Structure 1
Amino acid sequence: MSLTERLTNDMKQAMKDKDKVRLSVIRMIRTAMKNQEIDSQKPLSDEDIITIMNRELKQRRDSLQAFEAGGRQDLVEDTQAEIAVLIEYLPEQLSEDEIRTIVKEVVASTGATGKADMGKVMAALMPKVKGRADGKLVNQVVSQELQ
C-alpha cells in the first residue's frame, strides 16, 4: 500500500472515529501533497511525500519551541499531538549512534579532514539519511566528527 493510499484510508477512519487531531493533520499533509503535485506537475512518489512530512514536522517542532518559550501550554499540547501523528507516517528515525556510524563512513570515503570539507561530507551523507534523520542532528554530528 502506498503512502497516499494509507493516508486516504486513515483519513476515512479518522472521520468515522471523530479523531479531530488525526484528521486535521492528515488533511494538512494531503493539502501540502496536492500543492506539491500542482507545482511539479507530476504524481508524487512515497519519497516525495516523506519529504513533505519532514518539512511539516520541522515546522511543528519550531512552533513547539516558540510556544514553550511563550508559555502557551495549550498550544504546546496541540502541537505535540500533531507531531505524534506525523511521526507515525515517517520511517523509523536513526539514533544518534547510527548517524555517527554513517558519518564516520562518509568522512572516510570522502577523505574529509576538517571543517572546510563539511559541505562535501553533507552532500554525500544526506541522500543516505534522507527522511530518516533530523538535519540539525546530522549537522551537529558531522561538525563533531570533523573537529
Structure 2
Amino acid sequence: MQMEQLQKDMIAAMKAKDKPRKDAISSVVSAVKKVAIDEGCRDDIKEELVDRVILKELKSVKEQIDTCPADRQDLKAEYQLRYDVINEYAPQLMSEDEVKAVLTEKFADVVATKNKGQIMKAVMAELKGKADGKVINQVVSQLCQ
C-alpha cells in the first residue's frame, strides 16, 4: 500500500464526512509516520513499511475486538468497523499451500535437515510480512514430521 493512497483516502473520507472511516485511516497514517520517523526514513516511506504497520494495526484492533467486554456492544461495533476499514488496506497474506510451495522450492536443503529451528530461522526473513507466522509455523511443523 502506498502512503499517498492512504492519505488520499483519508481526505476523501473527510470530504464525505465519514468520521469513523477517517479516524481509522488517520490512525494508520499516524502509525506509519511514527514508524518511519523511528526508522529514519520519514521522507521516503517504502510500501513494505506501510504494509508492515497496517498488519500490526490490524492485529491490535483484532485484540481489542477479542478482549472487549460482551456488554459493551457499542465499543465492539466501533472496533469492528475500524478493523473492517484497516483490513481493506491490508496486504493479502500467502495461503498455507503457497507457503508450502515456497518452502519446498526455495528452502529444500534446509527443510531436508528436519531441524525446525533452523528452518524457521531461514524462512522467516523471506516470508515476514508476506505470510502469517502461525501459518508458517504450522507448515514447518508438518514438514518436520
Match of 1:110 in 2: 110
Alignment correspondent of 1:59: 60
Number of aligned positions between the proteins: 142
Change (3 A) 1:110 1:8: same
Question: Could you say which residue in structure 1 is the equivalent of 2:127?
Answer: 129
Distance 1:26 1:34 in 2: 12
How much does 1:78 deviate? 2.3
**Corresponding letter in the other structure for 2:94:** L
TM-score using structure 2 length = 0.81
- Larger deviation, residues 104-113 vs 91-100: 104-113
Deviation at 1:12, TM superposition (A): 0.5
What is the CA–CA distance in structure 1 between the aligned matches of 2:80 and 2:112, rounded to whole Å? 38
Larger RCO (CA under 8 A, 6+ residues apart): 2
Query: 1:125: Cα distance to partner?
Result: 2.0
Relative to the length of structure 1, the TM-score reads: 0.80
In percent, how many aligned pairs have the same letter?
38
Q: CA RMSD in A?
A: 2.2
Contact 1:64/1:79 (<8 A) preserved: yes
- What are structure 1's unaligned runs of at least 5 residues? none
AA aligned opposite 2:26 = R
Q: Quick check: 1:12 aligned with 2:16?
A: no
Q: Secondary structure at the match of 1:126?
A: helix
Give the distance between the partners of 1:9 and 1:37, measured in 2 at CA.
Answer: 19
**2:27 counterpart residue number:** 28
For residue 87 of structure 1, what is the aligned residue in structure 2?
87
Within 5 Å, give how 1:38-57 maps onto structure 2.
38-43=37-42, 44-57=45-58
Q: Which has the higher helix share?
A: 1
Runs of 4+ deviating beyond 6 Å: none
Ranges in structure 2 where 5+ consecutive residues have no aligned partner: none
